[in-house]
């Protein structure tokens, strides 16, 4: 298992987190292979994926340090602990709940808690979040990030939802530490057709769009 410092470094380079919501557990392994081939190694397997805990366990065992496997859509500490027991190296929640942060920090794992407003973001930070998952980011512009960070520069913002090829770099330039890539990367069409070659190409395009730090 990587150290906390190593996990943080892996999350931030290149700073692209694939948010994986599959309808079938058996898609997780080929999907992860495609993302790795495309240059994205931080993979958040959401709890809405059937058999998510076992999918995390299997992916962690197969890919080892090639991939940084995390868990998403975590709503309580028990789920966070079960996922970390299975090998999850980072924990993501769409909400702010102190018990989730406490569970992750007790196990030396980075944690992302959800927020939208300045008050929510600061509350998440005070609850123990290493990163603020700005969610849903659909409709928010990079200018919002700049405005948020002006009085709260200590926050590490990770917008999720609404980040795509066209605006990815703008979010990074606005001061985001990383971005979460959901359907703009792992699309419904790709999942419906198991088109892993297309996913690899899309991942490569996202890495190119990210550009240098």
Q: How far apart are CA 56 and CA 203, in angstroms?
A: 20
Across the chain, mean pLDDT equals: 97
Proportion of the chain above pLDDT 70, given as a percent: 100
Which of 208 and 212 is assigned the larger pLDDT? Answer: 208
Q: Please indicate, yes or no, whether the overall pTM of this predicted structure exceeds 0.85.
A: yes
- Residue of 58, 97, 133, 156 with catalytic role: 133
* pLDDT tens, residue by residue, 106-128: 999 999 999 999 999 999 999 99
Domain boundaries, the chain: 4-210
Distance of CA 210 to the CA centre of its chain: 15
Please answer whether residues 113 and 75 qualify as being in contact, where contact means their C-beta atoms are separated by less than 8 angstroms. no
- CATH T-level topology, domain 4-210: TIM Barrel (3.20.20)
| Angle formed at CA 14 by CA 11 and CA 16, multiple of 5 degrees | 70
Q: Can 146 be counted among the known catalytic residues?
A: no
Predicted confidence at residue 57, as pLDDT, reads: 98
Predicted confidence at residue 194, as pLDDT, reads: 97
Is 35 buried (19+), middle (13-18) or exposed (0-12) by CB count in 10 A? buried
- Residue of 44, 58, 89, 156 with catalytic role: 44
């Amino acid at each position: 298992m990587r150290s906390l410092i190593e996990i943080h470094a892996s999350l931030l380079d290149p700073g692209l987190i694939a948010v994986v919501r599959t309808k079938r557990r058996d898609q997780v392994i080929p999907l992860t292979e495609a993302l790795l081939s495309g240059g994205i190694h931080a993979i958040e397997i959401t709890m809405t994926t059937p058999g998510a805990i076992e999918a995390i366990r299997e992916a962690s065992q197969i890919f080892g340090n090639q991939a940084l496997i995390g868990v998403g859509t975590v709503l309580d500490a028990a789920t966070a602990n079960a996922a970390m027991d299975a090998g999850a190296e980072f924990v993501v929640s769409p909400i702010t709940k102190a018990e989730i942060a406490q569970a992750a920090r007790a196990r030396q794992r980075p944690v992302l808690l959800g927020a939208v407003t300045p008050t929510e973001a600061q509350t998440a930070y005070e609850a123990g979040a290493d990163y603020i998952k700005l969610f849903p980011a659909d409709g928010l512009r990079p200018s919002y990030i700049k405005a948020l960070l002006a009085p709260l520069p200590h926050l590490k913002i990770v917008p999720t939802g609404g980040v795509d090829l066209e605006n990815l770099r703008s979010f990074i330039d606005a001061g985001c530490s990383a971005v979460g890539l959901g359907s703009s990367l792992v699309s419904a069409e790709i999942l419906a057709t198991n088109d892993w070659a297309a996913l690899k190409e899309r991942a490569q395009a996202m890495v190119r769009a990210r550009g240098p730090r």
